[in-house]
Structure formats: C-alpha cells, structure tokens
Amino acid sequence: MALAIFDLDHTLLDSDSDHAWGQYLVDKELVDPAVHKHRNDHFYEQYKAGTLDIHEYLAFSLKPLTDYSLEDMLASREAFLNERIVPMISQKSRDLIAHHKRQGDTLLIITATNGFVTYPIAELLGIDHIIAPHPEFIDGGYTGRVVGTPSFQHGKVIRLNEWLEEQGYELTDSWFYSDSHNDLPLLEIVDHPVAVDPDDTLRKVAEDKGWPVISLRDQET
C-alpha cells in the first residue's frame, strides 16, 4: 500500500480555490470589493512567482472569518463550494483518485490553502486525509491566526514529516502530484513525482529530471 499525495489548486482542481474564495467574498460584497480584489490578485501573482509571504497572505485570507459569525461564514462556504468548486473538479481528477483507491493506496491532500476552505473540498473529492494551514478556533470563533507551520513550499515537507510520524506511514513507493514549482521541495523526496499541468518552471525541471508530465483537464485549452 503506497501513499498518494496530491496538491489541490491547479492539480486536482482546474483553478485556485484560495483565490476563488477571495473573489467570491468580493462578488458577494462580504469584503471591501476594490481593496480585497487588489490584494487578492497581488498575493496570487506573488504565489505564481514563488515570492509569496505565506504568513502575510494567511493573515489577509483569514481576516474575513473574524468579521462575521461562524454561522454566516459556514453558509457562505457551502454556497461557494457548490457554485465555484464543484465545477473545478474534472473527471480526470476523479478517475485518478479512483485509480489510487483501487490500488489500495492511502490518499492525502497537502495544500497551502487554509483549512476552512479546503477541508470540505477534500470531503467532496472523497479523500480522507488533508494537510492545510489550520485556522485557529477558540471559544466558538476563528481568531485569524493559524496553528503550526503553514504547508507551503518547504513547509509542506515539515508538515508531511509530522503527519507521517503521527500516522505511522513511510514514503516508500510514494507519489506526489503537483502543478507548481513551489512544491519542488516535496516533489524531490517522493519516489514518484508527477507534474500535473505544470507551470513553466516545474515543466522544465520535470523534463530535465525525466518526471512524468500529465494533464487532469477534461478539455485542453
């Protein structure tokens, strides 16, 4: 039984759930539209460039959770999942997940997108295990802070090693699927790294190292 690890955004999903959540808040006017959209887009460009300050970004992305009641945020998230996330899940992603389940593998998502957004996405995908920046929750509400190391860049390796120790798993015969050069630290340590619809930097590394390059998009663009 192997461990099959998946990045989420632009890998199992054909877009970015983190950026989409920010845009959803803008569209529903739950945040200042102009200010939030500008900062959301700015952070997204930093992510793509590999220069994102994850702590600064998480403080920004978790702030709306402190501005509304838990009930209101959960209702907004449910609508967001149905309207924005479900259409991002391709049949090829579902087929890949099903393939690893048939193999008897343990499936794990590891993502830099905060758990408020991503925990229910893992449930939608039928994946039991997920590592994500965990929003701190005290006395019935979110504080706007995260607990532990954010799972971004080398932080994904740190969080994965913690998880492996807790669960008693090893990386022998492990797989990791990702689209992003931000995930190179983790891609480098698994037995089967796979580039999925990769960015230009990751595509070059994958070609140089002979890693498989695949697409999980149902329609090529």
Active centre residues (catalytic): 7, 9
Contact residues for 90 (Cβ-Cβ < 8 A; gap 6+): 14, 216, 217, 218
